[in-house]
Structure formats: structure tokens, C-alpha cells
Amino acid sequence: MVRFLLNRLLLIVPTFIGITIIAFAFVRVLPGDPVLLIAGERGVTPERYQALMSQFGYDRPIWIQYWDYLLGLFQGDFGTSISTKRPVINDFLTLFPATLELSLCATLFAVVIGVPAGVVAAVRRGSWLDQTIMGTALVGYSMPIFWLGLLLIILFSGILGWTPVSGRISLMYFIPSVTGFMTIDALLSGQDGAFLSALHHLVLPAITLGTIPLAVIARQTRSAMLEVLGDDYVRTARAKGLPPQRVIGIHALRNALIPVITTIGLQVGVMMAGAILTETIFSWPGIGKWMIDAISRRDYPVVQAGLLLIAVVVMVVNLIVDVLYGLINPRIRHR
Amino acid sequence: MKSMKALLAATAALALMVGAAQAKTLVYCSEGSPEGFDPAPYTAGTTFDASSRPVYNRLVQFQKGSSEVEPGLAESWEVSEDGLEYTFHLRQGVKFHTTDWFTPTRDFNADDVLFSFERQWQEDHPWYAYSAGITWEYFNSMSMGDLLETIEKVDDYTVKFTLTRPEAPFIANMAMDFASIMSAEYAAQLEEAGTMDMLNQQPIGTGPFQFVNYQQDAVIRYASFDDYWGGVQPIDDLVFAITVDPAVRAQRLQAGECQIMPYPNPADIEMLRNDPNLTMMEQEGLNIGFLAYNTQQEPFDDPMVRKALNMAIDKQAIIEAVFDGAATPAVNPIPPTMWSYNEEIEDDPYDPEAARQMLADAGVENLSMKVWAMPVSRPYNPDARRMAELIQADFAEVGVSVEIVSMEWAEYLEQSSQVDRDGAVLLGWTGDNGDPDNFLAVLLGCDAVGNANRAQWCNEEFEALIQEAKTITDQEERAELYREAQVVFKREAPWATIAHSLVFMPMSNKVSGYVMDPKGTHAFDGVDIAE
């Protein structure tokens, strides 16, 4: 197990360097000179242009820029935002818990509904229940996030008035940030109703962000279950006279879960992309919204560092998934 | 279940109690996050709305709803005969905010004025680079560095600015956001504590609202400042609920989560107008969208040709198709909300027949030209591509064939300013300080040829008028010169003036006292909300 872990950790180094190169190159191949963009319609004098280029360090040879960037990274310096003039890492650490909270809730929503739905569809294969579940999953999978988010807002907040339109908590409360998780901070603050308000605000964004993963998980669970249910050992278990719930719940599901967990891990990457749209729609102060702002402001250091940090998050999640995978499936870790 | 009900009841009761005891709160669904709370390093209106407007004051300020200047922290000022010396007499007894993190020991005085400007000007000033990557964008782009000779403290309540050349718009610059007055005492305290960054995160000013806290990208809270020199505000709390998506802002407004919002989607305007609980305010923005010919190239060096092409453009059709009707046709190079706007000038009529005749008279046949379409959406031109296509069709009517060109935005800005550029360029401008000089000299002056003067137009008569207007400080006299300059502009037609876009501000019927600002900022002093 230790060797398995070490191997996985070693793989991270080249991956990380690869990502730094891609993030660094990406903002530089984007068209547009950042200084000219800042100056806008007014234009900029040649002297001022030179001064700004050297201040941002864009006048130096590209490999020196990359080297400095890499050196900075190893000292924990992710660069300074051109627009806010604050260190990028500070903003990231402030905003990331909001994204994490939303993503965890969305994952929870997707797993809690997606896995049972997939199991039911597999067990009742071909029935109207199966058809309905898989049909709904297909619709959910195909629905653009921004459209789904707006539809949910219009229906549940606008017409029915059941949920708040956007934000993380009612403006009535001011919750000091301790963990960065609004639900936990609201509980810690001890203010009456704050926790319920925070939960209330999580419902629509979590559903919006969780819908696509839910559909994928449901489909994956169904096909994995179908495969397992046809296996010899399931037939043996049934033949032994075990109760059907036990056959499905323990023998089949546990084995079917292996590909499902991989799927859930892969959905984290999808979720990061989805978070950008979901956060923008629901005014959710996370890193997705932060990246969108940075791109529209051409704030290259933020885009560069944001790409890198998000990639690192996805990488870490995949590592965790691999380890979990090893735990569930001994054949992998012994190989 | 029972306990749940009890909890809900308790929450509701509490909410009611809080509501009754609670002070009047105005919630503004703002469109984005401020870059910081020190306005001087930034140029974005969103940042100014959250920093300079509520928290700070300036020596002079714009009258509500106008681009004219009135006394602010300076009660009065004098300008020397030669137009080089501006002496400001400061208001006495002005208090700075008292907060958890700062308690002022003295009132506002000349030291604060010196601090506020010297930090942006003198490279060896300890605050010149107080945070990594700080640049003083507006101070530099208004050429303040070259313009200022000295800033002197005559006594505690008198400050004298000496300029290197007469420049009447200087007084309007003093009302701009970068000229906000900071507390020198607060700065000294931060410097001593080694936390200079806090100036940009926990602002202290003299303005109508004091900063309470900011949850990044989510909520900004302000409280009315009881000792404000301009009087106590009708509301107690001001909250900015940051909501990026315009459709969601509209939903929040309708759901009552906020009471006022900027920049609605054009598509939502009808729906918001029809909501009986809402009021919609609208105004021309301080902007102009134009088509700039290259007046140094044949045949566009002939005013008759330019005039003829202007008459071929159907502006009304453009306004319907490109602006969804939310714009007014532009006659002059400055918007109607700006002082010195010449009401007497008549627009060139849309008359393809006459245009064709004029082109023939000028000896132009089978003309083919380029029209440049910007790749980005701006308030003065939401869809340049579409506009270019309409102009292409209009010009085809009079026998001129058009090729539409476009390129990446930074490249576009750079290439379109070249003197030998081929073709007419779609572009526009949004004003900075409400002074006509900020449009006429910046966009059409001889100095700006090869830069922001995309028509490459240098007209002696026009130049003489705007240069003279720079050196006179009497506003009525200046206005007279600018009105004349607009006549020259219309006669010579270096641009086709297309449109001034409209700005909308939907709000709850409970809100009163809001005044739209032609410069596009959003300020909430004097605004009240019914219970």
C-alpha cells in the first residue's frame, strides 16, 4: 500500500510541472496585449507603455519570466492580481471554501440520488421506472447549467417564492468567517436561524451544479449493476437463497461501486467547470466567479494562478480517488 | 416536528422584532466586486461606486445629476489671472469616520490633501508603491504628473496647486474619483503598524457612509456616518449585494432581496417596466458611439464626401437593431447631458438620394472602402459587427461598397490609431470627468492625432477654440467656445456621430431621492426608503 501511494505521489511531480507550463503558456497565447487592454480607447504613450510592461515584467525574455514564475511558486508566491493588486493566493484561499462547500453539497446531492436511482433502474431493468429514470437522467445531462439555474430561480424563487434568488445567506445575518463554510460558520456564530438560512441558500445552486454529475452517476451505476448482476457469484448467492436485498445491497452494489467511484472522482473536474457557471448565476462568491471576473478583466496573473490551483485541486481529488479505489479493490494495490 | 415548528415560530418572531427595531436598510444589487477600497489605483466604475462614492469626498464634487462642479471639501477656490494657481479654502470641522480600527484625533485639514495627491505623484513617497503592483492609472492618464508644478500647504485650511500650464478642466479633475481625500493620520497609523495594505481594505474617509465590512465577492456593508459634514443620511445601513448576472439581479429586485440595481438586460426592461412594484429611471449615458473616417486619406479628406456618407446612414434603424431602441441618435460629439451641448445644431438628414448626388458632385465614383468593427461590446456600441453590416447596406444604397474588417481588441485599438490606417473605424468613448474637454480635446484635438484621435483630424479653427477654452476658467465663456467648436465639427464631419446609449436604473417604488448620474456612477447619499 505504501509503495502504491509513493508511486502515485511521484507521478504528481511531472504532472504539476506540465500544468505550470500549460497555465503559463495559455495566458500568453491568448490574443491581446494586457497593457493596451488596460489603456482601452484612450491609448497609452510609448513611455508609459514601457513603464507598465517592465513593471509587470512582460518585457523580459519568456523563459526568464517562466523561471521567475516557477521560483515564485516554490516560495508560495502565486503572483499579484493586476486589478486588485492583492496576492492571488490570498483571494484563492478566501474564496475556495465557498466553492468547496457548494461542490460537496452538489456531490452529496448527486450521489444520494444518483446511486439509488441507478440501482433501482438496473434491478427493474426495462420497466417504466427504468425508462423514466434514464430519460430524466438524459434530460438532466443535456441541460445547459446556466439555463437550468435560471429556470430553477424563476420557478422556485420567482413564481413559488420558496427559495432565495441568490447569495449564500440572508443579508440580515453577518457571519464572521471562521472555516469559510457558511453552514458551519452559521452554526458556530450561534445566531438564530442563520444555519437554516445558509442551507436554504444552498439548495438551488447545489441542485444546479449536481444535476449533470447526478445523471452521469445514475447511468454509470445502472450499467455497472447490470454487469455485476449477471455475474456467476450473484447467481450463486441467489441460488444459496440469500434475501434479494442482501444480494443487491452487499454483493452486487459493493462491486458495482468501483467504477462508480472513479466516475464520481472524474466528475470533480466537470464540477469545477460547472462551478464557474453556477457561481456566476447564483452570485456565489467562489473561485469560479473569481476566474470569470479575471478573464473579463484580462487579469493574467489571476487566470494563470487560478488555472494552476484548480488543476492542483483536481489532481489531489484524483489521488484520493485512486487511494480509495485501492482500498475497495485489493487487486489494484497488490499489483 | 413539534420542536421544528417552535424553532420556526421563534425565528419568525425574532425576524419581526429585529425588523421593527432594525434601522432602514437599502440594498443595492451591484454588478461586480470592487477591485479595492482605495479608489486612486483603479479605473473601474464598479470600484468607484463602492469606494469613492460612499466613503470619500473630494475638494470639489459634481452636482447631483449633472457634470457641473460644486464645492466639496473645499468651500471655495480662486484661480490666478494666468490660470496657473488654484487656491482652495478648505471646509473646517469636517470629521473622518470613527471605526473599530481607527479613531481620528483631529479634523480634516491641508495635510490630508497633500497626502492624497503626493502619494500618487512623488516616486519617493512612502505610499507611492504601498502595495505590490500599485499604479496610479487615472492620475497618469489625466496627465496630472506633467500638469502639476507644486502643491503647497499655505496654512491648515488653505492649499495651493500650481500648474505648469493653464488647464481649465483641472477643476473637473479634482472632482474625479482618483482625487478622493484620504486621512493622512490613518495612513500614518497604518505605516507605523506595518499594515499599509489595509488602506485598500478598510477605508477611512469623510464621506456620507462609513465602511463596515466586506465579504469578498458577496456583500459590502456600510453604515450612515452620523457626523457627516453634509448632514445625516435618511437610511441607516447601505448594503451592496454583489450579483453579477443581470437576469438574476432582476429576479432579486422583483423578489425584494434588493431595492435598486444597475445595468438591466435590454431583454428584461419591458418585464421590469410592467412590474407595478418597480419604477424605471433612464438617462442618456455620458458616451458617444461614432464612425471615424481617416480625414488624411483620399477621398475622405474632402468634408463633402464625409458629409454625404453621414447622410447615407440610417441611424434610427441602427438604434432599433443594435441598441434595442435604448439609445438616442447622436448629433454632436458630446452627449446632451453635458454642459455646453449645442442644442441648435441640426443633424444631417437621412437622405440617400441627396447623398448619392453629393458624392457625384465631389467626383467620387465606384468608391470601395473598409469599415472597422470592434470585436467587443461596449456601452456606446453593444454590437459593432451588426452596426457595420447595417452601415454596409446603407452605403451600398449610395453606390459605395464596404468591406468589414475586424481584429482582436488590443490590436484593434493599436492599429486604428495609426495615421496611415485604411478605412473608417467604429469606436466610442465614455467620459471621465464630465468636462467637454475630455471629449473634444481627447478625441479630436491635434495632439491626439496618431493616438485617440481616430479621425486623424487636425482642424485649425476647431483646435484654436478648444485650446482657448482650456485657458479660461469662467464656465459660461468656456461653454460658448465649445458650442462654437461643435458647429465646426458638424460642418467638417470628421465622424459620423451614431448614438448615445441610454442607461436604465430599475428600483422599488419604496426608494425615493435617487438621482441618476450622467457620468454613470451610482451614489446613495440622500436616498430614502419607505418602511
Q: Calculate ∠ Cα B472-B478-B482, nearest 5°.
A: 135
Q: Tell me how far apart the alpha carbons of residues B167 and B163 are, in angstroms, rounded to a whole number.
A: 8
Cα B286 to Cα B320: distance, rounded to the nearest angstrom: 20
A147 domain residue, yes or no: yes
B382: cell is 453593444
Q: Do A41 and B252 touch (CB under 8 A)?
A: no
Select the residue from B7, B240, B245 to test the A interface by mutation, using most A Cβ atoms within 10 A: B245
Q: How far is A82 from chain B (nearest CA, A)?
A: 7
**Contact yes or no for B215 and A39 at CB 8 A:** no
Task: Tell me the C-alpha distance between B217 and B34, whole Å.
Answer: 8
Question: B495-508 and B287-292: which strand pairing?
Answer: antiparallel
* Interchain CB distance below 8 Å, B248 and A153: yes
**Alpha-carbon distance values, A126 to A223, A244, A332, B17 (Å):** 13, 19, 34, 57
What is the number of domains present in chain A? 1
Residue A90: partners with Cβ closer than 8 Å, 6 or more residues away: none
B154-181 burial: b if 16+ Cβ within 10 Å, else e = eeebbbbbebeebbbbbbbbbbbbbbbb
Is residue A46 a part of any domain in this protein? no
What proportion of chain A, given as a percentage, has pLDDT over 90?
19
- Closest-CA residue in chain A for B198? A86
Q: Which of A43, A87, A171 sits opposite B413 (nearest CB)?
A: A43
Assigned C-alpha cell, A171: 443579508
Say whether residue A171 is in contact with chain B using an 8 A CB cutoff: yes
Helices vs. strands in chain A: H and E counts, helices first: 15, 0
Q: Contacts of residue A55 in chain B, CB cutoff 8 Å?
A: 133, 135
Return the pLDDT at B20: 42
* Number of Cβ atoms within 10 Å of the Cβ of A153: 26
Global ipTM: 0.78
CATH number of the structural domain spanning residue A184: 1.10.3720.10
Q: Which amino acid is at B51?
A: S
Residue range(s) defining the domain that contains residue A110: 95-300+312-334
Any alpha helices (H) in B22-55, and if so which ranges? 45-50, 52-55
Chain A residue with Cα closest to B132: A85
pLDDT at position A238 = 83
Partner residue opposite B251 with nearest CB, options A31, A84, A158? A158
Joined together, the cell numbers standing for residue B193 give: 503598524
Pairing status of strand B158-163 against strand B85-90: antiparallel
Beta carbons of B255 and A161 less than 8 Å apart: yes
Q: Do A81 and B217 touch (CB under 8 A)?
A: no
Residue A77 resides in a domain: no
- 3-state SS, one letter per residue, for B159-185: EEEEECCCCCCHHHHCCCHHHCCCCHH
Q: Which of residues 143-162 of A touch B (CB under 8 A)?
A: 150, 153-154, 157-158, 161
Confidence of residue A331 (pLDDT cuts 50, 70, 90): low
A145 or A333, higher pLDDT: A145
A168: nearest CA partner in chain B: B218
Residues of A in contact with B236 (CB under 8 A): none
CA gap A179, A185 in Å, rounded: 6
The predicted pLDDT at position B3 comes to: 45
Would you say residue A170 lies in a domain? yes
What whole-number distance in Å separates Cα of residue B46 and Cα of residue B28?
12
Do residue B133 and residue A153 have CB atoms under 8 angstroms apart?
no
Hey, is B500 helix, strand or coil?
Answer: strand
Q: Does A56 fall in a domain?
A: no
| A94 close contact with B: CB closer than 8 A | yes
DSSP string, B345-367: PPPPP--HHHHHHHHHHTT--S-
Contacts of A271 (CB under 8 A, 6+ apart): A103, A106, A107, A209, A213
Top-confidence residue, A66 or B51:
B51
| Residue showing cell 470641522 | B93
Chain B contact for A280 (CB, 8 A cutoff):
yes
State pLDDT tens for residues A244-263: 888 887 778 888 888 888 88
Contact B35 A84 (CB under 8 A): yes
Write the single-letter amino acid at B89.
H
Partners of residue A40 in chain B, C-beta under 8 Å? 413
Of residues B356, B269, B248, B258, the one with CA closest to residue B307: B356
Q: Per-residue pLDDT tens for A178-237?
A: 888 888 888 888 888 888 899 999 999 999 999 999 999 999 999 998 888 888 888 888
Q: Does the residue A51 lie in any domain? A: no
Q: How many CB pairs under 8 A join A and B?
A: 137
Residue burial B19-36, b: 16+ Cβ < 10 Å; e: rest:
eeeeeebbbbbbbbbbbb
- Of the candidates A273, A281, A274, the one whose C-alpha atom is nearest the C-alpha of residue A154 is A281
Beta bridge pairs of residue B284: B502
Cβ–Cβ < 8 Å for B44, B58: no
Which chain B residues touch A46 with a CB distance below 8 Å? none
| pLDDT for the residue B33 | 87
Residues B168 and B83: beta-carbon distance below 8 Å:
yes
Instruction: Tell me the average pLDDT across A27-33.
Output: 75
B79, HSE (Cβ side, Cα atoms, 13 Å): 16
Q: Which residues of chain B have pLDDT under 50?
A: 1-21
Amino acid making up residue A97: P
A139 part of a folded domain: yes
* CA–CA distances in Å: residue A78 to residues A294, A298, B184: 15, 17, 32
In this prediction the pTM is: 0.83
Q: Given an 8 Å threshold on Cβ–Cβ distance, is A52 in contact with B135?
A: yes
The A residues from 183 to 242 touching B (CB cutoff 8 Å) are 192-193, 196
Q: Which of A35, A283, A284, A299 is most worth mutating to test chain B (most B CB atoms within 10 A of its CB)?
A: A283
Q: Report how far residue A185's alpha carbon sits from residue A200's, in angstroms, rounded to the nearest whole number.
A: 15
- In whole angstroms, how far apart are CA B75 and each of B61, B70, B90, B93, B150? 11, 9, 6, 12, 21
Q: Which of B135, B432, B437 to mutate to test the interface with A (most CBs of A within 10 A)?
A: B135
Residue with cell 445625516: B232
Q: What is the mean pLDDT of chain A?
A: 85
Q: How far apart are CA B29 and CA B511, in angstroms?
A: 14
CB–CB contact A41 B244 (8 Å): no
**Does B408 contact A32 at a Cβ distance shorter than 8 Å?**
yes
Q: Which of B197, B255, B205 is nearest to B48 (CA)?
A: B205
The verdict on a CB contact (< 8 Å) between A83 and B35 is yes
Nearest to B32 among A150, A153, A293 (CB): A293
Residue B171 CA to residue B173 CA, distance in Å, equals 5
Measured distance CA(B157)–CA(B260) in Å, rounded: 38
Q: What is the pLDDT of residue A62?
A: 85
* pLDDT for res B12: 43
Q: Do A91 and B241 touch (CB under 8 A)?
A: no
What is the predicted pLDDT for the residue at B10? 44
> What type of residue sits at position B385?
R
Rounded to an integer, what is the distance from CA A279 to the centroid of its chain?
11
* pLDDT tens per residue, range A263-279: 888 887 788 778 888 99
